[in-house]
Structure 1
Amino acid sequence: MQNKVPPIELPKFELKREFAFNDHDFERIRALIHKEAGIALNPTKKDMVYGRLVRRIRELKLPSFAAYIDFLQSLAGKREFEQFVNALTTNLTFFFREEHHFHILDSFLRSLTGKGEINIWCSAASSGEEPYSIAMTALEAFPGSKPPIHIMATDLDTSMLDAGRKGIYSAEKVAKLPAGYAVKYFDKQPDGSFQAKPLLRDMIQFSRLNLIDSSWGIRKQFDAIFCRNVMIYFDRDTQFAVLKKFHPLIKPHGLLFVGHSENFYFASDYFTLKGKTVYQLTPGKA
């Protein structure tokens, strides 16, 4: 009978961190970002959270994540909350993302010709590529005249809103625009970047808005609302609450554009799928 060789136990290595960050700290952060931004942070994102927030802890000269969370929850830390949320929100975007939406929008806008002012809300504007894509689509739909369109662009991240207001983008980003759009809608800057022309910028109003706030303070209705690739970070209850608040803000003929991986079948009392990731109001719902 052969002797069994005992298994070799490999030493356990733990990533040495600059600041203490344990599971309890992570759970406190998950609770805070859910409360303040509606984001249901995946339990596997502990390393990502450390990487996103460690710079804030260094800048504030705090000794640990626990101390940072305590500071956030104190009266003195209220201003830091904005930086906290900015650090943990993802802002992946580019011009004409999900291109089929803009073909639909073009046809939709042309159908509204001569029917007065058109209002569009881009509710997750990030650094501005989406609202500028909407504005360019509007200018193409109303050639030769200033389109009767007002675009409200909102986001939670104030640094992204500042970037959107300036409308300055790298040559690499602008190069991916449809042929001729870079020259038509952007001015090249001395440093090689491109700034959206005043005609585009004047169509858009950027402001901060948190989709999970109890009141948005919006008094008008919209012909279209874009809320793309943001509610994937919300849990089902939060998604449903936001959709119910969108409903009375959309005109009877209006459209709701959502992200390619978002499906709101559970809100069929309020919205009905019209096309690929485009919804309309469900008939008969007050």
Structure 2
Amino acid sequence: MAVRTPLYNNNGNLQDMTTAMVTNLVNQTIYQYSLLPGTALSVVNSGGTLGNLFDTRLQAGVSSSGVSSYPSESATAEPGVVTFTYGKINQVKAAFTPTADTGRTWPVYRTAANEIQSMTLQDVKDTFLHPAIDSLVSGSTTTAQGGTYFISTSLSVAGATIMSSTPVFSDTRANVSAYTAGGIPESLDQPSTITNYYLHVCNGANSTYTPPMFLTASHDIQEYSSASWGSLIQEWIRYTAAQSTDGYQINYSYTSGTNRGSGMGDTRLNGSGNYQQRFINANDYRAQEFPNGTAIGINTYYLKISKI
């Protein structure tokens, strides 16, 4: 590992950057990533590449009827479990070829022998790119994670942008108040939504930084413009996040990594059935079992971020 100290122009003098200056360059790298993430998530109708999540709830049993008496509880269908599938998060990793290292592409630093030398791509990874990725994949959801994603139960979160007003997961349960004896035969599935979960992306924050110096083709030492440095470091942080082969590729899943935002809970009523009767006439006795019980947790899903 070779973390370098870039040089900067201090009123015409080449000086080593301070640790704070290098940190500012890492922060700018994160900001550039937030403008165009290399590993991007979106909300789709179905078939998202992250796979499926499952919401379950009880529904009423099928009603029964008798011509001379009510069907017994044992002869009446029990409430059943229905399952709904959510495959709404899709992951895409950018595929492109970034600017090649010519030997003078990257900032210069002062060697132990007091010589001016260009950083290698590995130096740039160790000094800027990998520290930026480490910040991006943490469990926090601040501007230091700009361009990465998390789950919230809110449509609006300060410091973030919602990806879609369509929930990526909904926890539903049987609406027990919707079932009445007077309505037998009731519709089997009468749900209520308990919680919706939405995908958000962290906003970035532009930061003040001192541009480093580089060697031109004619071996002059020149300061990067903000535009040229921003474009170059954005290419490489995007490429690292999307295509890194040295363990710094950003990846999202439901199975491994650091939790990002709210857990998406599937809850369900745990009752064995609320047996109800309805008298229509001397030849029509009806019965049906409705969902009942206390809500219990069935599963909790998390959006997770990791380096691979």
Q: TM-score range by the shorter chain?
A: under 0.3
TM-score computed with the length of structure 1 as normaliser: 0.20
TM-score computed with the length of structure 2 as normaliser: 0.19
Structure ranking higher in strand proportion: 2
Higher RCO (C-alpha 8 Å, min separation 6):
2
Q: Which structure would you say has the larger Rg?
A: 2
